[in-house]
């Protein structure tokens, strides 16, 4: 089912991704090959945030191709797929805000980023903003793909 208004799926989307917490995230490397890793985004509506190392392989990949594909599959009966673009946010106030969002969320979604990144200010704390152009909420079993899948398209 094609969804045109994000608010139609927002509550279900947030419930699923915040319950599953970890996702497989794929980027495209310099030789146009997919590369996956596990990441821990936090979502505010249709905007995702990832605290990560600014000098990672994914940073190199995103410099050449800003597209990411996320798969939340901890619950195989209700996976979530997010295709998005990622951009670095360097604004210190925004980094502090998202730092506190992670720190104040209940576990397992929430965690204290300080043991990993020390503070939001250092150069090694990178903040990625995820902007989806497609979100799939899948439910298994379903009589058909159409009946078991809600697909929202953002700005393509």
Q: DSSP for 93-121?
A: HHHHHHHHHHHHSPTTT----HHHHSSSS
Strand pairing report for 2-3 and 67-72: unpaired
Q: CA–CA separation, 152 vs 46, rounded Å?
A: 10
CB proximity list for 59: less than 8 A, separation 6 or greater: 52, 53, 88, 126
First to last CA, the chain: 17
Residue 38: how many CA atoms within 13 Å on its side-chain side? Answer: 5
**Amino acid 155: pLDDT:** 72
Residue span of the structural domain in which 109 resides: 2-153
**Amino acid 147: pLDDT:** 76
| Chain-centre distance for alpha carbon 123 | 21
The number of folded domains in the chain is 1
**Amino acid 156: pLDDT:** 56
CATH of the domain at 129: 2.30.110.10
Consecutive 10-residue averages of pLDDT for the chain (156 residues): 93 97 96 95 97 90 96 95 97 96 96 93 88 95 80 83
DSSP 127: E
């Amino acid at each position: 089912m094609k969804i045109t208004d994000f608010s139609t799926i927002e509550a279900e989307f947030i419930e699923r991704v915040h319950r599953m917490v970890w996702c497989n995230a794929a980027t495209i490397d310099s030789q146009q090959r997919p590369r996956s890793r596990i990441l821990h985004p936090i979502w505010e509506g249709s905007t995702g945030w990832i605290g990560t190392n600014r000098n990672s392989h994914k940073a190199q990949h995103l410099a050449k191709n800003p597209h990411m594909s996320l798969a939340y599959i901890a619950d195989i009966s209700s996976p979530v797929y997010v295709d998005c673009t990622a951009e670095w946010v360097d604004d210190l106030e925004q980094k502090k805000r998202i730092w506190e969002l992670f720190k104040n969320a209940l576990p397992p979604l929430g965690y204290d980023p300080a043991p990993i990144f020390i503070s939001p200010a250092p150069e090694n704390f990178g903040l990625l903003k995820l902007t989806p152009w497609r979100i799939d909420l899948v439910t298994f079993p379903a009589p058909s793909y159409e009946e078991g899948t809600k697909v929202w398209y953002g700005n393509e």
